[in-house]
């Protein structure tokens, strides 16, 4: 009989007590084990920091300037076949003009077609983060010391109320009278519900019968509301949605209670791994805060949505949805754009992504680039392309486009490719040195999917209309327009941000400034 030898445990093998501790803090042990095994196998060794080969020019085809009016030309026969397959209830001959077999659709035609496509669209947010980092004093102070001192009083008041809460349920802006405005999520729900009413009026005007879902029920414009939450935010969000049934920003809109029943999935945590300096084989990091045997759970990046929300995407597709919007909850400018929806549908693209034209203060972040293979993708200034190369290209007349973290996906293209995206979306392994210790974490970035798709559109948009993002509380206060004259001396874009917010609140969210407060109308 062969000798029974005891083999050494593999790095990913953990005892029952450690597994329980991981599970108790929300770690997806199976997914973490898979990532650790693949890392030790060398599956991620080919993933190197992205290097940009160049900056693409605006061509009007794949990269479109969407700041003004837009038109699209399509062979008329193709237009009829496409629209008949996509939305047979839409009266096709009522839009555009035909010359030599080509149908040209102007901006207003595209807007109306996009609105009539709302039943085939679902709107979604990446809603996983808490406001702890958002309200962190050190991070906000480092953004701009002088601006921080100007806004110290409102910052201290809001930071205490925001810290530890889901960012989406904190105020998205401050009213001119100094009171809190609507939360990010109240605005999002309000926008989608108003879009549903816009669809209803437009459908009546054009004699369109709303399409039915696969089960015979009606497809609701823009709904269901899709979201990816986290273990840290899930319970607080459900409680907030209960309160939103009486929200002054929502209760006057038909169907608001039903809209709060979202199509959601909870993003699990991934286990931290040992630091690269510890060598291979890597193991799970089990010394968090210096306590032996203590694991550390970390978010795996918004790119995990393709795995976490995969059942939601498939369910949407099965019910008859053909498109899904996806963006960050903290971008007040992330609203449903009917023209982009119509362009994406008529161009038969797999996805479309918003990029904002660079302003003088945009010196960090991801921009549209070509990688070494000549593929359109998103690369960070500094790691992927130098600031000098960006400024040189800009001086030569090239428009620099900054990633807005907003994507419009065709579910016909996304759903069949979900597993490939989950498997092939680059897994970035980075070393960290923080209060919890020295370790490595694994993350996937949603917008690296741009380089994985063959047929994508880039929409060059007005930053002050569609990219009013707030990564830090100080930015929210600045965008609100507080102490505008003094703020302008510190940040030259302050007037444009404040004007942009006011325009978006009026036009996209149906708000009106009354006695120093933005109120729903």
Q: State the residue for tokens 């519900």.
A: 193
- Torsion sign, CA atoms 163, 167, 169, 175: positive
pLDDT at 3: 39
Asked if the model's pLDDT at residue 361 lies above 80, the reply is no
Residue 374: left if φ>0, alpha if ψ -120 to 50, beta else—which one? left
Please answer whether residues 95 and 297 qualify as being in contact, where contact means their C-beta atoms are separated by less than 8 angstroms.
no
Q: Which residues of 220-247 are buried (b: 16+ CB within 10 A; e: fewer)?
A: bbbbbbbbbbbbbbbebbeebbeebeeb
Mean pLDDT of 89-100: 96
Asked if the model's pLDDT at residue 7 lies above 60, the reply is no
**Number of Cβ within a 10 Å radius of residue 57:** 11
Q: Which residues of 165-174 are buried (b: 16+ CB within 10 A; e: fewer)?
A: bbbbbbbbbb
pLDDT at 8: 44
227 in a structural domain: yes
Please answer whether residues 472 and 134 qualify as being in contact, where contact means their C-beta atoms are separated by less than 8 angstroms.
yes
Of 68, 88, 106, which Cα lies nearest the Cα of 343?
106
| Distance (Å, whole) CA 90 – CA 84 | 8
Mean pLDDT of 38-44: 89
For the chain, the domain total comes to: 2
Asked if the model's pLDDT at residue 6 lies above 70, the reply is no
pLDDT at 51: 72
Of 270, 185, 188, 187, which Cα lies nearest the Cα of 236?
185
Q: Which residue has the higher pLDDT, 203 or 47?
A: 203
Asked if the model's pLDDT at residue 327 lies above 80, the reply is yes
Q: Which element (helix H / strand E) includes 298?
A: strand 297-299
Residues 355 and 441 in one domain: yes
92 in a structural domain: no
Residues 222 and 307 in one domain: yes
pLDDT at 235: 93
Asked if the model's pLDDT at residue 1 lies above 70, the reply is no
Residues 285 and 387 in one domain: no
Residues 234 and 359 in one domain: yes
The CATH number that applies at residue 404 is 3.90.550.10
193-223 pLDDT, tens digit each: 999 999 999 999 999 999 999 899 889 999 9
76 in a structural domain: no
| Distance (Å, whole) CA 514 – CA 521 | 10
Residues 325 and 231 in one domain: yes
Residues 185 and 42 in one domain: no
Q: Which residues pair with 239 in a beta bridge?
A: none
Please answer whether residues 260 and 89 qualify as being in contact, where contact means their C-beta atoms are separated by less than 8 angstroms.
no
Which range among 42-51, 61-70, 145-154, 363-372 shows the weakest confidence by mean pLDDT?
42-51
Which DSSP string corresponds to 343-371?
HHHHTT-SEEEEEEEP-TT--SSEEEEEE
Which range among 157-171, 233-247, 485-499 shows the weakest confidence by mean pLDDT?
157-171
Mean pLDDT of 389-399: 86
Q: Which residue has the higher pLDDT, 112 or 378?
A: 112
pLDDT at 462: 93
What mean pLDDT, rounded, does the chain reach? 91
329 in a structural domain: yes
Kindly state the DSSP code that residue 305 receives in the 8-state scheme.
H
Please answer whether residues 352 and 457 qualify as being in contact, where contact means their C-beta atoms are separated by less than 8 angstroms.
yes
pLDDT-based confidence at residue 48 (cuts at 50, 70, 90): low
Which DSSP string corresponds to 239-290?
HHHHHHTT-TTTTTSTTHHHHTS-EEEEEPEEE-EE-GGG-SS--B--BGGG
Please answer whether residues 313 and 403 qualify as being in contact, where contact means their C-beta atoms are separated by less than 8 angstroms.
no
pLDDT at 300: 87
397 in a structural domain: yes
Of 405, 390, 499, 474, which Cα lies nearest the Cα of 445?
405
Residues 262 and 281 in one domain: no
82 in a structural domain: no
Q: Which element (helix H / strand E) includes 402?
A: strand 401-410
pLDDT-based confidence at residue 2 (cuts at 50, 70, 90): very low
169 in a structural domain: yes
Domain region containing 28: 11-46+276-298
Residues 423 and 350 in one domain: yes
Mean pLDDT of 109-113: 98
pLDDT-based confidence at residue 419 (cuts at 50, 70, 90): very high
pLDDT at 424: 87
Mean pLDDT of 415-432: 90
Residues 365 and 406 in one domain: yes
pLDDT-based confidence at residue 257 (cuts at 50, 70, 90): very high
| Distance (Å, whole) CA 63 – CA 367 | 13
6 in a structural domain: no
Q: Backbone phi, then psi, for 464, in 5-degree steps? A: -85, 5
Asked if the model's pLDDT at residue 146 lies above 90, the reply is yes
Q: What percent of the chain has pLDDT over 70?
A: 96
| Distance (Å, whole) CA 114 – CA 336 | 10
| Distance (Å, whole) CA 391 – CA 368 | 14
pLDDT at 467: 93
Which range among 7-11, 284-288, 386-390 shows the weakest confidence by mean pLDDT?
7-11
Q: What ranges make up the beta strands (E) of 411-500?
A: 428-434, 437-443, 456-461
Of 412, 423, 471, 431, which Cα lies nearest the Cα of 449?
423
Residues 287 and 383 in one domain: no
pLDDT at 477: 95
pLDDT-based confidence at residue 433 (cuts at 50, 70, 90): confident
pLDDT at 204: 97
pLDDT at 306: 95
Q: Which residue has the higher pLDDT, 45 or 6?
A: 45
Q: In this structure, what token pair is assigned to residue 312?
A: 């939601």
Residues 280 and 343 in one domain: no
Residues 293 and 205 in one domain: no
172-188 pLDDT, tens digit each: 999 999 999 999 999 99
Q: Which residues contact 406 (CB under 8 A, 6 or more apart)?
A: 325, 326, 327, 328, 331, 334, 353, 354, 466, 467
H-type helices in 442-515, by residue range? 463-466, 473-479, 484-490, 494-507
446-460 pLDDT, tens digit each: 888 998 898 999 999
């Amino acid at each position: 009989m062969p000798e029974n030898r005891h083999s050494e445990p593999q790095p990913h093998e953990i005892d029952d007590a450690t597994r329980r501790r991981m599970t108790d803090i929300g770690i997806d042990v199976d997914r973490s084990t898979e990532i650790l095994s693949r890392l030790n196998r060398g599956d991620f060794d080919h993933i190197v920091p992205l290097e940009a080969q160049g900056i693409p020019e605006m061509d009007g085809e794949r990269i479109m300037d969407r700041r003004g009016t837009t038109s699209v030309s399509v062979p008329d026969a193709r237009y009829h076949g496409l629209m008949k397959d996509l939305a047979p209830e839409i009266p096709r001959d009522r839009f555009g003009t035909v010359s030599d077999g080509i149908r040209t659709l102007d901006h207003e035609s595209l807007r109306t077609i996009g609105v009539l496509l709302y039943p085939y669209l679902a709107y979604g947010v990446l809603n996983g983060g808490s406001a702890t980092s958002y309200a962190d004093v050190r991070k906000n102070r480092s953004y701009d010391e002088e601006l921080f001192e100007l806004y110290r009083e409102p910052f201290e008041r809001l930071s205490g109320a925001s810290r530890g809460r889901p960012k989406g349920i904190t105020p998205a802006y401050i009213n001119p009278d100094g009171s809190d405005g609507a939360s990010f999520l109240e605005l999002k729900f309000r926008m989608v519900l108003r879009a549903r009413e816009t669809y209803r009026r437009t459908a009546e005007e054009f004699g369109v019968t709303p399409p039915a879902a696969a089960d015979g029920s009606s497809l609701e414009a823009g709904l269901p509301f899709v979201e990816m939450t986290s273990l840290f935010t899930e319970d607080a969000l459900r409680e907030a949605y209960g309160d939103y049934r009486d929200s002054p920003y929502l209760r006057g809109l038909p169907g608001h209670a039903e809209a709060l029943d979202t199509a959601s999935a909870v993003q699990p945590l991934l286990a931290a791994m040992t630091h690269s300096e510890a060598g291979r084989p890597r193991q799970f990091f089990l010394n968090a805060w210096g306590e032996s045997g203590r694991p550390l759970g970390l978010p795996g990046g918004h790119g995990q949505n393709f795995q976490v929300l995969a059942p939601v995407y498939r369910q949407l597709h099965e019910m008859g949805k053909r498109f899904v919007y996806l963006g960050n909850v903290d971008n007040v400018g992330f609203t449903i754009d009917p023209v982009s929806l119509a362009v994406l549908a008529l161009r038969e693209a797999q996805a479309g992504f918003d990029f904002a034209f660079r302003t003088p203060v945009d010196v960090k972040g991801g921009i549209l680039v070509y990688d070494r293979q000549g593929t359109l993708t998103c690369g960070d200034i500094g790691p992927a392309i130098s600031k000098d190369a960006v400024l040189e290209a800009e001086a030569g007349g090239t428009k620099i486009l900054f990633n807005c973290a907003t994507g419009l996906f065709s579910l016909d293209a996304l759903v069949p490719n979900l597993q490939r995206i989950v498997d092939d979306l680059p897994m970035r392994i980075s070393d960290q040195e923080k209060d919890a210790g020295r370790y490595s974490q694994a993350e996937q970035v949603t917008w690296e999917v741009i380089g994985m798709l063959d047929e994508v559109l880039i929409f060059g948009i007005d930053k002050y209309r569609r990219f009013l993002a707030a990564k830090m509380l100080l930015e929210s206060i600045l965008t609100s327009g507080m102490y505008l004259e003094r703020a302008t001396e510190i940040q030259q874009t302050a007037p444009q941000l404040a004007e942009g917010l006011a325009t978006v609140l009026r036009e996209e969210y149906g708000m009106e400034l009354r006695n120093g407060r933005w109120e729903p109308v």
